[in-house]
Amino acid sequence: MNRLLTITCLLIMAAASGFRTADARTASTADTRESWVSSWAAAQQALAEQSALPAESLARATLRQIVHLSAGGDRIRLRISNAFGTSPLHVLTVHVAHAPAPATSRIDVGSDRPVTFNQREEVLIPEGAEYVSDPLDYPVAPAFDLAITLRIEAAPLPQTGHPGSRATSYLAREASVSAAELRGSTVEHWYFVAGVDVSGATGTEAIVTLGDSITDGHGATTDGNDRWPDLLAGRLQHAFSARMPGVANVGIGGNRLLTDGSGPNTLARIDRDVLARDGVRYLIVLEGINDIGMLTLTHEATGAQHEDLVRRIIGAYRQITLRAHAHGMTVIGGTILPFAGSGFYHPGPANEADRQKVNEWIRAAGHFDAVVDFDRVMADPQHPERLRPDYDSGDHLHPSPAGYHAMADAIPLDLFRRSP
């Protein structure tokens, strides 16, 4: 009996020792796990017919897309998305290279490298899924222009992508993915490419900018990288040098907090577009103008409907903040820009009253962790319900490049300085 008891005790001790050893190995792996930061992002949506490529033109063709990174690093990895496809996306090959000149398909051939997925160049991405590539030793500096060239077997329907790229993409038949230049057709959309992560210095973090077409950059210069998140990244580069935070722009044109429109509503996409990004420490929220405008787009609204809209917008802000805080993020609220005179929305006094009520809530202490008052920066001093003329792209809704500069300059960089 004593011998049996002794053997039993030894087995228990050995098992406990084994568990401790496994725990130690797990902890050791966690301690050495590589730190990744989102350097570039595009919010994905199901592409409408006018944005999608004809299926026959994309099958086994070469598609080159240029993205402008924010933070640099020694290694990169790509995120390829089939989030809205209803069949698998068969990627035959993906290459990356330096794009040395703006608004051209030309690459530095010597910098061309293949990207792998599970140590293979091809990957089958299930419907509704996103795939992260293997890490690639590929040093990139801040503000690096990366060409991503891919070939796919066929395009699932609906196609997944980002229509508001403000960047030229290049499509050619019978061209090598390593070709120095592609001669074919061009289109101003992105397809299937959802993000680029970098591994950088310890402590490097990312900022996500969550918004609608104003964050997406409607009115910015095509291939100019002068959306306000781009310009914020430029300021951070000069202020922080190699340790600058990454800036991931997940704006979607026409996006709304409460209702699907151009892309899923904000609350429906926060998991994929914000919480799943790497290394995110800060979230800047600039949403709500489309919700206010759409309320009266086709018919008048009652006073009760206006009150309910304001209440629901504020509720959405609370939900976003709650979710982001649970992931350790600092949430920065942006006040909604003026849009009187918009030829699309034709806002009246009731819409302006809604905007003012929402902005008052945003400015009030205890709601967001910090506030950037875009409204006061962008408003015409003589007519505060309107954009300043020099900051107006001409449609009285979207800023001009000068307006985007003003928005970026309005963001205090001290918000992103960590204590030693």
Query: Residue 55 has what pLDDT?
Result: 86
Instruction: Output Rg (C-alpha) for the chain, integer angstroms.
Output: 24
**Integer Cα distance of 237 and 160 in angstroms:** 31
Q: Give 317: exposed, middle or buried? Use CB within 10 Å, 0-12, 13-18, 19+.
A: buried
3-class state of residue 119 by DSSP? coil
Q: Which residue ranges of the chain lie beneath pLDDT 50?
A: 1-32, 419-420
Query: Residue 23 has what pLDDT?
Result: 39
Query: Residue 102 has what pLDDT?
Result: 85
Q: Which residue has the tokens 């997940």?
A: 250
What is the per-residue pLDDT across 346-383, written as a single tens digit (0 to 9) for each? 999 999 999 999 999 999 999 999 999 999 999 999 99
**Do residues 362 and 300 lie in contact, with contact meaning Cβ atoms separated by under 8 Å?**
no
**Do residues 301 and 226 lie in contact, with contact meaning Cβ atoms separated by under 8 Å?**
no
Query: Residue 241 has what pLDDT?
Result: 77
DSSP 335-362: PPPP-TT-TTT---HHHHHHHHHHHHHH
The number of helix segments (H) and strand segments (E) in the chain equals 10, 20
Q: DSSP secondary-structure letter at 158?
A: S
Provide the pairing of β-strand 145-152 with 89-98: antiparallel
Number of residues that make up the chain: 420
Query: Residue 203 has what pLDDT?
Result: 56
Q: Which residue has the tokens 């976003």?
A: 320
Q: Give 153: exposed, middle or buried? Use CB within 10 Å, 0-12, 13-18, 19+.
A: middle
**Integer Cα distance of 207 and 232 in angstroms:** 10
Q: Which residue has the tokens 């900022």?
A: 207
Q: Give 220: exposed, middle or buried? Use CB within 10 Å, 0-12, 13-18, 19+.
A: buried
What is the per-residue pLDDT across 163-210, written as a single tens digit (0 to 9) for each? 999 999 999 988 999 999 999 999 999 999 999 999 975 558 999 999
Query: Residue 155 has what pLDDT?
Result: 86
**Integer Cα distance of 420 and 402 in angstroms:** 35
* Domains detected in the chain: 35-199 (2.60.120), 201-420 (3.40.50.1110)
3-class state of residue 305 by DSSP? helix
Region of residue 409 (left: phi > 0; alpha: psi -120 to 50; beta: else): alpha
**Do residues 196 and 141 lie in contact, with contact meaning Cβ atoms separated by under 8 Å?**
no
**Do residues 71 and 131 lie in contact, with contact meaning Cβ atoms separated by under 8 Å?**
no
What is the per-residue pLDDT across 338-353, written as a single tens digit (0 to 9) for each? 999 999 999 999 999 9
φ/ψ of 13, rounded to 5, equals -65, -40
C-alpha torsion sign, points 266, 268, 274, 275: positive
**Integer Cα distance of 379 and 338 in angstroms:** 6
Residues facing 91 on adjacent strands? 123, 152
**Integer Cα distance of 394 and 275 in angstroms:** 35
Residues facing 66 on adjacent strands? 147
What are 122's two structure tokens?
């091809």
